[in-house]
Every structure is written in structure tokens, then in C-alpha cells.
Chains A and B, each alone.
Chain A
Amino acid sequence: MSHIDQKTPPKREDRLGACIAHGGTICEMAAGKGKKSCLQNDGDRSFTQGNICLLLPALAMLNTLPDNVVLQHSAIGCGSCTHSQNANVRFGSNVRQGKPKDAVWLNTAMNETDVITGGEEKLEQAIIEADRRYKPFSISVVSGCVPGIIGDDIDGVVQRIQPEVNAKLLPIHCEGFKTKIWATAYDAVYHGIGRTLLRCGEQSATADGLSPFKGLERLSNTVNLMNVSSMGRIDELELERLLKALGLDVNVFPVFSHPESMVKATQAGLSISTCPTHDDYFLSYLEERFGVPALIQHMPIGIENTGLWLRDVAARFGTKGLSEQIIAEEERELKAALAEFRPLFEGKRVFISAGEFRALATARLLEELGFTVVGIRSFHHDRFAEVEYEKLAKSSSEDYVVDIANVQPFEEANLLRRLKPDLFLGHANGNGTASKLGIPTHVIYHTALAYIGYKGVYELARRLYRQLKNPAYNRKLAENVRLPYRDDWYGASPFTYITKGGASA
């Protein structure tokens, strides 16, 4: 029995041994098996700051689905993050369908009585009412911590109510206290999609071994381009451009795709991930159950990595020669265009913070632009990234710090005060610490901005050039506000509060 046959997907710490608490270095992280690594024995922190739980990335995906209602089963606050994600939904639907559209999200607002008596009945009624009021194609029933603790069985509710409603019901498990690795979110959403919208057992095998969804033909020249909302439309277009140049048709999956059309994913000749942190769970499912092979290595961020990514794709379709031509031409054009920015970047020291794969790929990109990496903070660590640490260890002349931390800005503040980098790249809501220290900053992920492929390199370079040309905002801010840490914290080791398994640098 595989994971998808269970009600809930396993958490990443169990499935991949993923960890979040480790103070290390790039060389140590690259050394891989046999060496001391947090993968075997994750650390804990005796002081932690808040971060996100798996519910946030899960909602970031679900909110984009057209004709889908997100029904949050929890206390009233869970899912209020949608207020910012909705901006992405509006922007994304505008660039894709020509009209901004608000997501539809509901909350069962469990109260003290529900906590005592259970919330299943309320959820049942909520599903029925949502189906009648909004008439959606699907309703994602998303559970938060409260039903997880009091034992509401959302799968049971869905099973009972499904015959009474028109909408397809997708149970999605996001009980935040159950996993410390928020990337489990991707598995949770894919799990719901797989079990409901791409239920296997309905497909028929074809002569070439692929088994698309029943009644659909195989499209061997079509590739699934996986996007869990880490790329905006502008980045999708860049990858579509490159894939089309290889003669391929592209099916972007799953963000902004109509739940009814998701079965198209089973027709493709190949699924291509842009980030192993996102997609490995579902790509295994597509491969095992529908015979769609998968590519899952290299993130197409940076010149070298985009080339590696494209070569891998071409190798699967026997178009290696074509890919070499495309890569040579793209690199020639890009390098010429970057020339004017390089003198400003050369030798400037940079600290990078993001989800693991994104941070590492972006670090390599920044090296290509002439920056020197002096530190990386990865939000978690799993085995998929070992190869990326190796790339970076090879390309750097000096060892530097790697902090495996689910954000934890106090460690970052300590590190930044020591390292005094010239530039900081961080995730959304993660640039404030560096800003208050007066360091020029730039956001490492935003769906309205380009990051991916060759165009992404150029556009990112252009933005960094702007930031470095006039970092007055952060500089003045630092002169006038301070971070909320005591002075003696900056004298302590940044990894003082990592206990048990994790090592210090």
C-alpha cells in the first residue's frame, strides 16, 4: 500500500528525514553521508520564534484553483493569511484570464462549543450550504489544528456528504502541530488532488506503457510543468518559451488550473519539476499510477542550473543537440546583457535566506553575477539538496555558514551583525531583520517578479542593481530603529539555542 492509499500523507520528517535545526557550513553540508548531519538526528531549539505551518503553502495553492471553494475547518483565524495570498490570486487571474478575481474561502469558525461537542455536524452542514450557495466544481475541505486534536474525521464527513452535493470534495490535512516541516503542505494538497481528482483505477494502459486517465489520449510531446505557486506567470512563460523551443507543449500544473482539467496531467509524456522540495510526492504518484515519467533535479534559477535543467529535459526527448544550441545562444546573449551590471556586483558579499532549494540555486546564480556568498539560511534540509550543497562547496574558495532554520530571525540577526554582508536576499516577510540592520535587501520570491530561466537572471540582476544603486531606505531605517534583541545576544554564538542533535559551526 503506498502513501496515497492512506487518509493522510506522511510528514516529511518521517518520509524524508527532513530537519530544521542545524548550524553548519557549506563544506560540511556538502560532505553528505557518513559525516555529521542533521538528517540523521534533527536538533531542537530551546528558544524559537514563530514561522508558518503547512496550512499557508497549502492555501497558497488551493486558493488559485478556479471554480474551487476553500472551506477551512478550524477556529476562525486559520487561513486569514489568505488576505495576502488573495492579492496573488487576483494578480494571477488577471495575467492569465484578463480579469482579477478574488478567491472564495470560508471558515467554519469553530467555537468553544464545537471544541467540546465536535465539529463534524457543522462541517457537514457547511459543505452542503457552500455547495448550494457557490455551486463550485470542487470544495477543498481543509482541516486545521483544532479538528486534529479533538478528533473530527474530515475524511469520514466527506465520504458521508459527497453523495448529497454536486461539488467534488477534496479533504486536505493541514493540522499544523503535526509536522514541523511546512513543505509537507505540498504533499497534503497533492494527496487530496490525487485521491479525488486523479483517482487511479480508471485509466487504461497504452502500447507504450503510459496509462493516461480513462478516455483520454496520451500526448507524448506534452510535458507537465509543475508549479505549486513558487513561480508567477512571468516565470511560467519563460520556461514555456524554453520548452517550446525544444518542440514541446506545456501543461502547467496545478496552480490556476481548473480542477476539472487536472486529468490532463495524466496524458503527458513527462512531468518536470522546478524544485524537489515541492513535487517529489506527486511525481512518484503520477509515475507509479499513470506511467508518466518524471524529472526532478536542478532548479532553473541561474545560468548553469537553467542549462542543466534544460539538458535533462532534452535528453528525455532525444533533442540534446537542439538544447546545446539553445543554451549556447541564450548564454551568449545573457552574458552580454549582464556585462554592464557586473562591475557593481563584483566581490560584493551576499547572504541568502529561503526554502532550501531556492536558497541554494539563487546562491549559485548570485555567484554567477559576481557576488561572493557569505552565508545561507535554508528553511529546512532534506537529502534532495545534497547535490546543490556540493555545487556550492565546489564553486566557493572559502567555507561559509549554513543555518538550517525555519526562519528564526534572532539567529539571522546575530549572523548578519557578524558577517556584515553587502546584500541580503530573503523570503516574503523575511527581509525586515536585514533591513533594520541597514543592509540592502531584495525579496527572493514574488509572483509578480521574474526569477526563473535566463530572463529571470537578467531581471533579478537588474533589480539588484537598482537596490544597490540606492539603498537609502534601509540605511536610514537602521539609523533610527532597532531590532528587539538584547545587546549581549550579538556576542553569543548564533547557534546557542540549538540543542540535541544539531551541531554548531
Chain B
Amino acid sequence: MSDNFIERPRYTCAQGGAAATVTALPGGIPILHSPSGCSGNFAWTQNGGAGLQVGGYCGTLAIPSSSVQEREVVFGGDSRLREQVANSIKIMDGSIYAVLTSCVTEIIGDDIKSVVADFKKQGVPIIGAETGGFKGNSYRGYDLVLQSLFKDFLERGVIKKKKRVNLWGIIPTYDPFWRGNLEEVRRLLEELGLEVNSFFLNDDTVEGIRKAGSASLNIVISQAYGLDAAKLFEELHDTPYISLPLPVGASATESFLRSVGKAAKVSAKTTEAVISFEKKRYYHYLEPLTDCFNDLDLQRYAIVVGDASYAPALTKSLADDLGWLPELTVCTDPLDDETEETIAAQLLSLESEYDTNLIFETDGGQVIGHLRNKWPVTTGKYQKTFAPAFVVGSSLDRELALEIGAAHLSVSFPVTNRAVLDRGYTGFRGGLRLIEDLLGAIVAGR
């Protein structure tokens, strides 16, 4: 880690995360209050990092942008924004418009709040968020959009419904597996008998989002992202939240369902029945893998490199579901101390009790050094090499895998070398996908 730079940042800025988040809402139209280049930067970022997914209904280069220039920097950009919003509403067919500010328009002090408020008064479904890039990375932008949505778009004072829950914690696009991940968790929650609003899936509606305040529980499947939004939601709409690790694979999903069941007041009987049914199916699929899993010696040492959700979640699945040996887990997000502690705690309570090493390191190029510290290169006739090994990380960890002779799978952003549509790694089904993809990478040359 360096105090002065971040190497190959595995995210973009707050505005980029915010724009992708708005694009993923049903009928969502982001309106960037920024210089002209910001949305193009996001387009190329997604093109290279999001498993071949770029944009959506209104994404990337279709996104309205005030395209401020030196003139606005000098004289202010409020009137340009007003003109841009008015014309965006005329041209763009949307259900939710969201004005998102940039570094430039925040530094020059444009007052977007009054612009947004004026359009809202006219009945336009519009929100605004201050997402200047210096505020943080794409994960921060996701949280800021949710906060704005909860504050300015959701109806206040709606009657709570017992079995209704909201689900979030996965950032659209910057988790390339966002749709599959959300879908599987949503499916499992529905199996528990819950009614789910997940904001960003095909099943979600603007009406459902407006009424999100009726939920009795908010489920955040992250211990790092979307938590400020959850706190604000509780304050404004009086709905408590539960923050749980991203449930990847059978073991994590089992405890996830028990925690959610308890918090959502689902009967233990129902929860256990769902777990039992899902596990039975899961092992029904695994059963015929067993010969090859053993005969081909498919157990691996592993290095996991990922964001604050994936790094611990993948590590847990490797250790607790597959019986692999995740020796080094590298979390590449810059986090505050408290969040780091929460992430670390996840790995201290592994079911397998496997002893992992967790490191917070933003710079992927430094991972090899951390590995050598833990696992020095030995010489002599009998060598305890770090092999056979696997690197589960992002596309940027291919050089590491090559250097140590390990197989590799891209899961955490950037995922440049895979096509991702509805694939996900959460839940029981996601656990099976993960095993397929890991073992598939090992036997690809068979």
C-alpha cells in the first residue's frame, strides 16, 4: 500500500458507481452534471471490467451530461444544468431521473439541490446526489444514490408489511455478477416466504421502489457497501437492517438463511425446510463430481484477491465448501478500520477452522511480495512449493497466477476476460457455478 497512490484501481469514482446504479434502476436516467468526458470514461471502464456488460437502458454514452466547460467553471454551471435537466426530461423517456455531480461542479459550488427541488415541485420523478469523484470510489457512489433514493423518492409513512423485505449491498456492473448474485438471493428469500424488493432486477418496479418503506426488514448482503444508506433508511422509514456477508456457496448460504430467517421472523421450521431442500439438491449435483474431484487431485492452495465482499466470501467458500487451502486473502478496497475489523472477523469464524491470512492491500502488484512473506521460496531437494495453486481474483491477477504457475479465475472487478450475463456465485446455485468455473479452469487443457 502507498499513502500517495493506488495502483491500477479496481473501481472507478463515486460518480461512476452512481451512474451505473441509476442505469440499473427500472427506467433510470442518470443526468451527469460534469465535464463531457466522465460518462465516456465509465463506458470504457465497464467495457474493460464488467464481464462484457456496458450500460443498459440508458447507460454510458447515452447518459445525458451537462458537459460543462471552462465557461461554467468561471461563471457557474447552475443555468446550464437547469437547461440540461429540462431538455433531458423532454427527450429521455424515464421513470427516475437522477442528477449526479462531478468533481468539477462540486468544486465550483453549483447548487444542484435547488435545481432538483424545482423540478420535483413540477412533479418530475427526480433525485440528486453529490457524487464528486474525490468523495470516494464507485462503491461510495452506489451508497450515495441509495441514500438519495431513500430520502427523496420513497414514500414516507407507508404501512409496514410483515413479510416484506428490501435487498441490496451489491453494486450494479462494478460487481460483474450483480444480476445473478441478486437473483439467487432473491429466490432464496422468496423460498422463505418473503416478498422482496431488490431495486435493480427485472422483477422490480418503480412502484415497488416507491413503496420500499413498507418493508419490515432491510437485508444488506455486504459488510462494507450500502450501510450508510441502511442507517439512513432506518432513520427515515423506521425499518431495521441486517448486514450479512455475501453468501457464496452452501456453507455461507446456510448460515445466511438462518440469520435472515431469525431477523425476518420466519419460523425455524420453514427456514430449516428450505435449507434442507436446497442442500439436498446441491449435493445431488456434487455427487457425480466426486470421482474426478479425487482422481484428478483437484484440491488447491489458493490466493483470493477481491473487493470487500468477494475476498472473504470466496475464501469462505473455498475453505468450507471445497476443502481448498486459501493461504492468502487480499482485500483490495481502501476501507476504514472498523470495516476492516468486520471483514477480518468473517474469516476468524470459518466452519472448517482453516487458518487464513487476510491482508488489506490496494495494489495488486504487491500481492506476490505478501505471498513470499508468508510462503518463502525454498531451495534444496525437497521443496515445499506453493503448488498446486489457484488464484481467484480479477483479470489483473493473471500475471501473479502466471508467475507462480497457478490456475486463475476472474470474479472480482475488473473481469475483462469473461462474458457475464446472469451468472452469479451467491446461494447454493452460485456455489455450484463457482465450483464449475474453478474446476473448469483447471481442466481446460485436459
Contacts and interface: CB of A to CB of B under 8 A. Distances in A.
A341 interface: no
Given A49-B39, A484-B29, 16 more contacts: A49-B61, A50-B67, A76-B136, A77-B42, A77-B45, A77-B138, A79-B41, A115-B103, A129-B2, A133-B2, A177-B70, A407-B40, A428-B44, A432-B55, A483-B62, A486-B92
Given A108-B4, A485-B92, A177 B68 contact: yes
B65 A50 contact: yes
Interface residues on A, range: 35 or more
Which one of B44, B104, B138 has the highest number of Cβ atoms from chain A below 10 Å of its Cβ?
Answer: B44
A387 interface: no
Contacts of A76: 6, 9, 11-13, 133-134, 136-137
B90 interface: yes
B2 A80 contact: no
B62 A56 contact: no
Nearest to B16: A77
B67 A104 contact: no
A91 B13 CA distance: 27
A86 B73 CA distance: 32
A494 B196 CA distance: 42
B66 A48 contact: yes
6 A-B pairs closest in CB distance: A53-B37, A77-B13, A50-B39, A84-B48, A52-B40, A75-B133
Interface stretch (B81-89, B302-310, B312-320): B81-89
B61 A109 contact: no
A118 interface: no
A83 interface: yes
A406 interface: yes
A102 B73 CA distance: 36
Interface string B72-108: 1100000000011001101111100000001110011
Contact of A107 (B5, B66, B93): B5
Which one of B29, B43, B69, B136 has the highest number of Cβ atoms from chain A below 10 Å of its Cβ?
Answer: B43
Contacts of A80: 9, 11-13, 16, 41-42, 44-45, 49
Contacts, number: 251
23 contacts: A45-B67, A48-B64, A48-B65, A49-B61, A49-B63, A50-B32, A80-B44, A81-B45, A83-B416, A84-B48, A102-B8, A111-B134, A111-B136, A145-B104, A146-B104, A149-B107, A178-B70, A429-B60, A429-B61, A485-B92, A485-B93, A486-B91, A486-B93
Contact of B62 (A47, A177, A433): A433
Contacts of B326: none
Nearest to B417: A87
Which one of A122, A407, A489 has the highest number of Cβ atoms from chain B below 10 Å of its Cβ?
Answer: A407
Interface string B29-58: 100101111111111110111000011011
B338 to A, nearest CB: 18
A150 B38 CA distance: 18
B23 to A, nearest CB: 10
Nearest to B85: A47
Interface string A105-133: 11111111011000000110110011001
Given A83-B48, A84-B49, A176-B35, A50 B40 contact: yes
Contacts of B6: 76, 106-107, 109
Interface of A: 45-56, 71, 74-87, 101-102, 104-112, 114-115, 122-123, 125-126, 129-130, 133, 144-146, 149-150, 176-178, 180, 182, 406-407, 409-410, 428-430, 432-433, 481, 483-487, 489, 497
A111 B134 CA distance: 4
B61 A55 contact: no
B132 interface: yes
Contacts of B107: 115, 146, 149-150
B206 to A, nearest CB: 15
A56 B37 contact: yes
Contacts of B7: 104-106
Contacts of A178: 69-70
B95 to A, nearest CB: 11
A157 B339 CA distance: 35
B12 A410 contact: no
A84 B13 contact: no
A115 B105 CA distance: 13
Contacts of B4: 108, 122-123, 125-126, 129
A406 B40 CA distance: 11
A407 B65 CA distance: 12
A71 B16 CA distance: 20
Contacts of B83: 46-47
Contacts of B45: 77, 80-81, 83-84
Contacts of B93: 484-487
A410 B91 contact: yes
A145 B44 contact: no
B33 to A, nearest CB: 11
B239 interface: no
Contacts of A108: 4-5
